Amino acid sequence: MAVLAGVFQIVIRISGSAPLQPRRSVHTGSESLLVRVMTMPPAWRHTDPNRDDTERHGRPSRYETSQAESEYPVAVERFAGRAGSLFADDIHVSAEDEVGAAVTAAAPVPAPGVTLVVDWDGFGQALTASGTAIFENVALDPARIKPEPARVPYAMAFFQPVHPATLVGIGRAAAEDVARFVAERTRGYSHGNAGRTAEDPQIQAVVGRVRGNAHAAGAVVLKAAESLRRAYDPHQAGDGTAADRTTTLADIEVNQAMSVVTDLVLEATTKLFDALGASAVKVGLGPDCYWRNARTIASHNPRIYRDRIVGAFAITGAPPPRHYRVGTA
């Protein structure tokens, strides 16, 4: 538990530092197109008649390929990348083998045949870069191709909290900055409650709310991390029944956390402006970066679907999905 909590503490701290500066860290992108790996004469054959439309809109596509002129099999010719692809060290590609079984392949970046197109212009959190990645006859080490059931069953529950942990870091940085901005203000309002803004109880309440939201969001994320330990232990012990049950509960806790943390941080990064006045919108001060970064992260992981997943589980016991892919547009 200490190790898992420590991982997300690190993410929180990194995300709360220098929000306007891009930071380099290990990233894993994932694909938005479905591919099929086949055994056939060396050749590419695209089986989707709407290829261009597919690539533009992220619809699932289907490819057939074969053993290439390489010691490694080819994975996929082309796909449109998802979150993090432009900064990824590995891009995970979902595929089907010759018998239709689902597999995943981790393609290293950079690699021969992999082209990353810098076409992402999101207004916040630059490292979410969901740009286009083009694969052309990319050879993969067979050791990097695994059946999906062989993946760690709680992998999604582990990867997903990275977004809310990032939101927590943004919220904490926003709380620290708004307190500092208020403390440094020398002018107040004629209709305010004190001569100095820092002594105005209504302004103090706003700062307190922002700080409280950030604190609560952090507590929720670290609490969700505990559920990952409960899923990890039976998996390591080989107890399949317990592992499946605890993984489901971990997924639910993470989904709950994502929805609540998103609400808390978006409210905090909006409400902070109530304590600062019109001067806060000047470009030089820049507190808008917190809202833009939080909004971008939240948009990559829509909370409305998290609420639905949790509600369905609460009402019917329906388990949450273990894997996510982009569907038809």
Distance CA 40, CA 246 (A): 42
Specify the pLDDT at position 310: 96
Question: What band does 326 get if pLDDT is binned at 50, 70 and 90?
Answer: low
Work out the number of other CB atoms within 10 angstroms of the CB of residue 24: 8
pLDDT at 216 over 60: yes
pLDDT at 65 over 70: no
Question: What band does 75 get if pLDDT is binned at 50, 70 and 90?
Answer: very low
| pTM summary value | 0.76
CB 210 within 8 A of CB 271: yes
pLDDT tens-digit map of 10-35: 777 777 665 443 333 333 444 433 33
Question: What band does 48 get if pLDDT is binned at 50, 70 and 90?
Answer: very low
Please state the rounded mean pLDDT for residues 243-255: 92
Please state the rounded mean pLDDT for residues 149-163: 74
Mean pLDDT, the chain, as a whole number? Answer: 75
Domain range annotation of the chain: 31-150, 155-316
> At 171, which amino acid appears?
G
- Please state which architecture CATH assigns to domain 155-316: Up-down Bundle (1.20)
Q: Report which secondary-structure segment, H or E, holds 250.
A: helix 240-271
Q: Find the largest Cα–Cα distance for the chain.
A: 81
pLDDT at 5 over 90: no
Reference 74, options 47, 115, 35; nearest CA is 35
Which neighbouring-strand residues pair with 139? 74
pLDDT higher for 4 or 190? 190
Domain spanning 31-150, CATH class = mainly beta
| CA of residue 193 relative to chain centroid, distance | 42
pLDDT tens-digit map of 78-118: 554 555 677 778 887 776 667 777 777 777 888 888 888 87
Distance CA 214, CA 218 (A): 6
Distance CA 183, CA 199 (A): 9
CB 156 within 8 A of CB 324: yes
Q: What's the token pair of residue 132?
A: 């286009």
Distance CA 324, CA 160 (A): 11
What percent of the chain has pLDDT above 90? 31
Question: What band does 39 get if pLDDT is binned at 50, 70 and 90?
Answer: very low
Phi, psi of 319 (to 5 degrees): -70, 150
Specify the pLDDT at position 103: 76
